[in-house]
Structures are given as structure tokens and as C-alpha cells.
Amino acid sequence: MPQTNADVVRRLYEAGDAVGFEGVLEFFDPEIEFDLTDVSPDQRAGRGRDAFTKAASAYTDTFEEWHVDLVELIEIDADRVLAVVRDGGRLKGSDREIYNDFAHLWTLREGRLVRWAGFTDKTRALEAAAEAK
């Protein structure tokens, strides 16, 4: 059975939850572009696996125990998939747990992730997807 882009994104989250983002870099194009400016004003856009790992780790490293749950997948078009996720866990140095809801817009080419944009909600991600069409 042929693998769809939604299948690739689903596998990414399943593997990422088990081993963290550094363990799933084979899913990513070496020159992956990312944009986190909608999620946090102090985050930025970047390019490349190392820059992606650094940006993702800046967030996940604030947790002692972090995980991500895939809530919904939406195939936007032939190249883009929207993942609605809930992530979080126990903060470092604390017994406190926090969880966040995000929407991730992935662009794929030949089964590899070439672009990722993070959004604070599904509606904003869908608007951005429509604007970029």
C-alpha cells in the first residue's frame, strides 16, 4: 500500500513521542525550513536539521518529561498536512505539569518533511495554509 503524506506525519509523531525530535531526523530534508513566529514572538524561522533541533529543544528541554499526542490530521493538499497536537508534561525542577494545544503545518516532498510552521491554534494554521496556496 502506498504511503501517504499523512502516514509520514503520523509516523513522525508516534516516533517523536517515543524518542524525541532528535531521534526522528531521518524524516526531515537536510534543509528543512521552519517558522515558529506564530507560536512565540521570541522564536524565529530557520533552516536545516541542526537549527530545527536547536529550536525544538529550546522548548522541549524545559520539561523533565515531555510528550506529544496527535489529536487530528488534515490533508490540506497534495503536499501539505496539518497536525493538531497536544503536548507538554512535567516541567524541570517542579511537580507541575502543563499542556499546550498547537497546530503544525507540514510540507512534504517525496515523502520527506521540507517545511514546518507552528501555530497556536488550528484556525490560524488553516488561514495560513489558505494564504500560502
Spans of all domains in the chain: 5-131
Q: What is the pTM of this model?
A: 0.90
Are 65 and 2 spatial neighbours (Cβ–Cβ below 8 Å)? no
Q: What are phi and psi of 65, to 5 degrees?
A: -130, 115
- Tell me the per-residue pLDDT of 91-102, one tens digit each, with 9 for 90 and over: 999 999 999 999
What was the pLDDT predicted at 102? 96
Average confidence (pLDDT) over 52-59: 85
Return d(Cα 85, Cα 12) in angstroms, integer.
12
Return d(Cα 46, Cα 52) in angstroms, integer.
7
Residue type, 9: V
Pairing of strands 80-91, 97-109: antiparallel
User: What is the CATH code of the structural domain delimited by 5-131?
Assistant: 3.10.450.50
